[in-house]
Chain A
Amino acid sequence: MTSLWRDIRHEVAAWLGSLKLAIGLFLAIAAASIAGTVIPQGESTDFYRQSYPDSGAVVWGFVTWRFIISLGLDEVYRSWWFVALLLLLATSLTICTFRRQIPMLKAAQNWKFYTEPRQLSKYALRTAIPARGTGPLAEQLRAGRYKVYQRDDLIYATKGTIGRVGPIVVHVSLLLIMAGAMIGAFGGYQTQRMTLAGDSFDIKAVEQSRLSLARTPDWTVRVNKFWIDYRPDGSVDQFHSDLSVVSPAGKELTRKIISVNDPLIYDGVTMYQASWGVGAFKLRLNDSPVLTIPMQPIEAPNGQEAWGQAIPFDKDGRVALQMVTRGLQGSLMLLPFNPRTGETVREAATPARVGKPVNILGQRLVIEALVGQTGIQIKADPGIPVVYAGFALLMVGLAMSYLSHSQVWAIYRDGQLHLAGRTNRAQISFERELVRMVAAVQTPRPRTSDALSAAQE
């Protein structure tokens, strides 16, 4: 019973650590990912019902919305089977490293001298040349940065063993990256906040996975200021938010001006500048106090971004005023219209600038300010350091993996030097290196061109 169990375990491990499974997994993950780029992800059921009907024009004859939803193709990258494929890959990697790679590395270090010329005949790259001993070859090999072992008339030389360590480093770093991703999935969260300049936000309500172990902070963030740099042609160059992190007791813990690509990081939480809008404007009408009125994103006729708000403009509700702006540069358009019919009063449309009084329909109106609204992306991911460590190690491991592990054996017997060699990656360069060395140690030492022409005769 125990031996059967051991056999089964052995078989399963051999299957899990096999290269064929690994290649199958690579291609399966690639194929699943393709499905995720072809089928729109994360839409509503209605969307799939409309785009992939189950009768009439069925996409490719079988891709119906039921098919998509039941297989989780609407959220491929979060479906249980996709995650299972990734976990299987991680398992395969772990087992492969211990069962295959470490033994391979040991085998590569476990070298031996060959003592009989015929033992070399199994290598494809080999020759026998007249020579005076092993000395000149050993010298050539050392000059070629080989590590040379000599005993009597025998040579073993090797270089690039690090090329055997490389793939192990690569595989371990991939496991690190996957581990970091798991830590992020269980310990992280994210959310967005749109906040008016001057207001504060907290990080209580966040999106996190059901199994999350994360705790959200109790401090709040105050947006001291928000502004945009414009280019001369009116397009946005960069946007900035001046943020303060404030403790529950009201103490400022830190402060930073963030912009796109330059976030604020505090207490493991990262706050990125993500978007912006015009949140409100400050208005004074005749002798009124300053009124703050919110604005909403609206669609301008030419499809460009704009923000606007309509306010009633006379007592009987026959005229309203639509205020529209394209950004925070300070210019607005005032469009009077009839709220019942929606008709604009074209001839009364008036441009306005912040701070400059205008007269419209007999009233004096000043827009004191446009108040920006900053869109901040908030994210905590405790797995990042692990993932980044994995990235760094992966690059090192890949660089190591490019090196080729080369081995040369030689036996000197009766005036003949028998030699053979093999390498695992850079075959062409290795052949050239060996030919050059052989030409250099051969006796009597004719000029290489003579040897070549002799060969052609």
Chain B
Amino acid sequence: MNASQLVAIQVLLDNAAFAALMVATALYWLAAAFRRVPLLHELGTGASAVALLSVTGLLTARWIETAHFPVSNLYESLFFLCWCVLAVHIAAEAFARQRLVGVFTLPVALGMVAFSSFTLTPAMKAGGPLVPALKSNWLMMHVSVMILSYGALMVGSLVAIAFLIVTWKQKDPELRGSSVGTGGFQKAEYADAEGTTPAASTFASLGGSGGDTTVTLTSSAPTAVTALRRSNLAETLDNLSYRLIGLGFPLITVGIIAGAVWANEAWGSYWSWDPKETWSLITWFIFAAYLHARITRGWQGRRPAMLAAVGFVSVWITYLGVNFLAQGLHSYGWLSGN
């Protein structure tokens, strides 16, 4: 296949991804609005899978065309980030059997593709050879792991935002699954009503809790036999966002380390407080605060989720905002198109 064919494929897949994401977003939103209409969710998941495949194809074609992993300019990195968000979204949805996630993640993925399609000039979209400073395995690893971590952190904090919305009226939802939290223990209010699932919030049926989240095991014993009380919607969202951020945090750490090692090998200093570097550290500290807030007595409930929401903004500034803020080591013609 020659280069112009590869470019044509990319244009086609770019449009296909955009269309699939529009459809998927619409389906997830419709499914949230009309909870009783069957199949909307399944179709939404299907459309996001189509989008994921299109973006995979686009990135592969670009990789073959330029002969390097496609993260060397804004266009490529936006599509790679979109790929990560979609992949994490689909994995999280399958893991938590929880379809509310897409209501929040799909618009973000759509926004990325829309931004790269409509605002970047053709010169900024085109692939090209690597500048000398980018020719390093450490650097390629640094950039791709950073973007992967942005994907996990973004989806994780979007789920935390979903948690904030679901628990809007609740004063103090307990978190389950934490080292020192009381969540592993029985709450007083359930002590009387053994085995009943607490009334889930308005989104409950969307979470599919009717089918799967509560499994009541019967017993012929006459004594008060309790069923395993499983997480309700809010608790599921909370634990899902914790696990995703718990995955994103090591990834961003590895990304920062790879960047530091590369900077040391190439520039002679592993840390130079360049704005982008500094923002990745800021993001890192915000998510460290999130992880520790979860295990702080009196800080449980909605507060960690709010920190995660702040982290969502911080990830975006780290990824994009810095290029507008300042000229540093990291701004290799990203927005100038050469």
Which A residues are closer than 8 A to B by beta carbons?
A: 19-20, 22-23, 26-27, 29-30, 33-34, 36-38, 40-41, 77, 104, 121-130, 164, 181, 190, 231, 236-239, 259-261, 263, 270, 272, 274, 377-379, 381, 384, 387-388, 391, 394-395, 398-399, 401-402, 404-405, 415-416, 422-428, 430-431, 434-435, 438-439, 442, 451-452, 454-455
Contact = CB atoms under 8 A, between A and B. Distances in A.
Nearest to A407: B184
Contacts of A19: 292, 295-296, 299
10 contacts: A19-B296, A20-B299, A122-B186, A123-B184, A127-B217, A261-B135, A261-B136, A398-B254, A425-B178, A428-B243
Nearest to B271: A181
B39 interface: no
Given A377-B268, A395-B257, A425-B246, A442 B217 contact: yes
Given A122-B185, A455-B216, A26 B268 contact: no
A402 B132 contact: no
Given A26-B292, A260-B132, A391-B261, A402 B268 contact: no
Contact of A263 (B135, B178, B265): B265
Instruction: Give 6 nearest A-B pairs by CB, closest first.
Output: A427-B177, A422-B184, A379-B268, A398-B250, A455-B216, A26-B289
A402 B253 CA distance: 13
B226 interface: yes
Contact of A130 (B132, B177, B220, B228): B220
A113 B256 CA distance: 44
B288 A26 contact: yes
Contacts of B243: 425-426, 428
Contacts of B1: none
Interface string B303-338: 000000000000000000010011000000000000
Contact of A427 (B218, B221, B235, B286): B235
B285 A427 contact: no
Given A127-B226, A128-B225, A398-B250, A428 B240 contact: yes
B198 to A, nearest CB: 11
A259 B135 CA distance: 11
B270 A387 contact: yes
Given A128-B221, A238-B132, A29 B285 contact: yes
B231 interface: yes
Interface of B: 95-96, 129, 132-133, 135-136, 176-180, 183-187, 190-191, 215-221, 223, 225-231, 235-236, 239-240, 242-243, 246-247, 249-250, 253-254, 257, 260-261, 264-271, 273, 275, 278-279, 281-282, 285-286, 288-289, 292-293, 295-296, 299, 322, 325-326
Contacts of B136: 261
Contacts of B187: 124
Contacts of B264: 384
Contact of B292 (A22, A40, A123): A22
A439 B292 contact: no
A190 B189 CA distance: 64
Contacts, number: 201
Contacts of A23: 289, 292-293, 296, 299
Contact of B217 (A30, A274, A424, A451): A451
B270 A36 contact: no
A378 B268 contact: yes
Contacts of A427: 176-177, 183, 231, 235, 239
Contacts of A34: 282
A434 B217 CA distance: 12
Nearest to B240: A428
A423 B235 CA distance: 14
Given A27-B289, A423-B184, A402 B215 contact: no
A50 B263 CA distance: 33
A278 B277 CA distance: 32
A123 B185 contact: yes
Nearest to B247: A402
A438 B228 contact: yes
Contacts of B278: 33, 36-37
A431 B186 contact: no
B244 to A, nearest CB: 11
Nearest to A37: B275
A260 B132 CA distance: 7
Contacts of A428: 95-96, 177, 231, 236, 239-240, 243
Contacts of A270: 268
A444 B220 CA distance: 10
A424 B269 contact: no
A260 B268 CA distance: 11
Contacts of B249: 398
Nearest to A236: B132
A33 B281 contact: yes
A263 B263 CA distance: 12
A231 B236 contact: no
Contact of A127 (B135, B180, B225, B265): B225
Given A126-B228, A260-B133, A384-B270, 10 more contacts: A33-B282, A37-B325, A125-B184, A239-B132, A379-B268, A395-B254, A428-B239, A431-B230, A435-B217, A442-B217
Q: Which of A77, A270, A381, A428 has the most chain B CB atoms inside 10 A of its CB?
A: A428
Contact of B215 (A126, A391, A398, A452): A452
A124 B185 contact: yes
Q: Which of A125, A381, A387 has the most chain B CB atoms inside 10 A of its CB?
A: A125
A411 B257 CA distance: 48
A127 B132 contact: no
A19 B253 CA distance: 21
A402 B250 contact: yes
Nearest to B236: A428
Contacts of A451: 217-218
Contacts of B186: 121-124, 126
Given A30-B285, A129-B217, A438-B228, A263 B246 contact: no
A392 to B, nearest CB: 9
A440 B261 CA distance: 50
A209 B30 CA distance: 62
Contacts of A439: 215, 217
Nearest to A379: B268
A126 B292 CA distance: 27
Contacts of A384: 264, 270
A164 B265 CA distance: 34
Nearest to B322: A37
Contacts of B250: 395, 398-399, 401-402
Contact of B226 (A40, A128, A238, A387): A128
Given A26-B285, A454-B218, A124 B177 contact: no
A425 B136 CA distance: 37
Contacts of A164: 179
Contacts of A41: 273
